[in-house]
Amino acid sequence: MSKPMPAKKKVKFGVYMKRYWQLYAMLALPLIYLFVFKYLPMVYVQIAFKKYSIVKSIWQLPLAKNHGFEYFIKAFGNNDFRYALRNTLTLNLLDLLFGFPAPIIFALILNELCFQRYKKVVQTITYMPHFLSWVIIYSLALQLLTPETGFINMLIENLGGTSIPFLNDPAHWIGSYIAFGIWQNFGWGSIIYLAAISGINPELYEAAAVDGAGRFRKMWHITLPGIRPTIVVLLIMNLGNILGGGFDRPFAFQNNLVMKVADVIATYVYRVGIKGLQFSLTTAVGLFQSVVGVVFLLMANWLSRKLGDRGIW
C-alpha cells in the first residue's frame, strides 16, 4: 500500500494476470459462445428490411419497399399479428401477475417447515413438473380436462355438476393455461429464493424472536426484505420478456376453438414465417419483439434504481 502508485500498478497487472489467467481462460469460452450464437446471427436482422431469398447471400438481397419498412407496415396491418401481439401481452402479464409471486410464496412456506425430510420430499416433488415437456403436459391436460371424457369433468358430472370447458372455451382456456404454467414452474422457481433465504443472517431471526415477533412478523420484516434484491432482479428479467415467452407452451395448448386468445407471437412467427415461408415478415416481427423487450427491460431497471434497489446494472 505504501509503494509508489505507478510502479505498483504495472507490477500488479502482470502479477494479477499470472495469478488468475485460468479464470480468464475459462471466461473466454462463454464469450465465444455468446459471440457465435448470439451476436453473429444479428447480422441476419437485416432480413427484416430486405426481400428475402432462400438462395441468395443476404448481402445481395434487394431492399424491401418503403425504404425497407415494407414488412413492418405489413405486419401491423395484419389482423393476426395484432391478435398475436395482444394475446402475448395478456398471457405474459397474467403469467407475471399470478406466476411470479407463486414461487416466492412457496419458498416462504417451505422455509417455515422444520421437518427437514418432509421439506426435501416436497421440494423434489414440486421440481418434477419442470422436467416435463409441454407436449406431455398437454396430453395430461387432455386426459384430465376434456369435457365428458376428462377425469376431472367426469368427477364433476358424477357429483352432479356440469362439466367445465377448461380447454375449449377461450376464458377457461386462459385460466387453464396460466394454471398449468404455475404448476410447472413454481417448484423450480422457488430454488433461487430458497438460496437467497438461506443467505439471511440467522441472528436477525433470533433478535426478532427476542423482541417477541411471531412467524408472520419475521417473514414480513426479515425474510421478505432479505430476498428483495433477488425478487427485483427476477422481476426485471421477467419484464424484459414481456413480449417474448416460450413457443412450446402456447403451441402445445392451442386448439382451433381458442386460437383467438391462444395465438401468440412465437406461434404466429412459426406458422407464417417458417411454415408460410415469409421470412422477412416474421424477422420484422421478431425484431419488433426484441426491441420492445429491451425497452421494458431498461424501464424496469431504471424504475428499480429509482426506488432504491440495485437493478441489474
Partner 1 sequence: MKKKILSLLLASAMVVSMAACGESGNSGTAPEQPAEQTETKEEAKEEAKEETKEEPAAEEPAAEPSELTDGKFAETRKITVEVYDRGNDGGSDPENNMYTEYIKKGMLEQHNVEVTFKKVPRWTEVDDINNLLAGGEAPDVCVTYSYPTILTYADMGGVIDLAPLLDQYKSELPNLWAWLGDENIYWDKDPKTGTVWAVEGRRFEQQRIVTFVRQDWLDKLGLQAPTTTQEFEDMLVAFRDNADTLLGKDAKKMVPFSISKDVGWRAANIITSFMDPSISDKDYYINGFDDRMVTEPQTKEAVRLLNKWYNDGLMRKNFSLAPDDTEEDDMIKAGYVGAFQHNWDMPFRNGEDSYNANLARNVGPDAKFVAIDPFTNSAGKHAKWLYSTAGDRKSFFPITNQEPLASLLYLDFISQPDVIKYLQIGDEGVTHEVLDSGAIQIKAAEGDAIQNSGKNIDMTITCNGAYYGDKDLAALSLSYGYAGIDPELVDNASKIAMTDGLTPKNVNVGTIEAEAGVGDTLSAKRDQAYDLSVECAAADFDKVWDDAIADYLSSGGQAIIDERTEKWAEYFGDSDMLP
225 binds partner 1 (CB under 8 A): no
CB of 250 to partner 1, least distance (A): 13
Here the cell at position 277 is 415461408
23 binds partner 1 (CB under 8 A): yes
Give the number of residues written for the chain. Answer: 313
CB of 181 to partner 1, least distance (A): 19
Size of the site for partner 1 (CB under 8 A): 53
Question: Maximum Cα–Cα distance for the chain, whole Å?
Answer: 87
The interface region with partner 1, picked from 146-154, 181-189, 204-212, 242-250 by CB under 8 A, is: 146-154
138 binds partner 1 (CB under 8 A): yes
For partner 1, the binding residues in 78-117 under the rule CB under 8 A are 78-80
Among 2, 18, 22, 306, binds partner 1 (CB under 8 A): 22
CB of 111 to partner 1, least distance (A): 30
Closest CB to partner 1 among 52 and 180? 52
For partner 1, the binding residues in 259-288 under the rule CB under 8 A are 259, 271-279, 281-283
208 binds partner 1 (CB under 8 A): no
Among 149, 161, 206, 302, binds partner 1 (CB under 8 A): 149
294 binds partner 1 (CB under 8 A): no
168 binds partner 1 (CB under 8 A): yes
307 binds partner 1 (CB under 8 A): no
For partner 1, the binding residues in 45-74 under the rule CB under 8 A are 47, 52-63
The interface region with partner 1, picked from 8-16, 77-85, 95-103, 199-207 by CB under 8 A, is: 77-85
Count of CB atoms situated within 10 Å of the CB of 154:
15
**Residue matched to cell numbers 367426469:** 154
**Residue matched to cell numbers 455468446:** 34
Residue numbers at the binding site for partner 1 (CB under 8 A): 22-23, 25-26, 29-30, 33, 37-38, 40-41, 43-44, 47, 52-63, 78-80, 138, 142, 146-149, 167-168, 255-257, 259, 271-279, 281-283
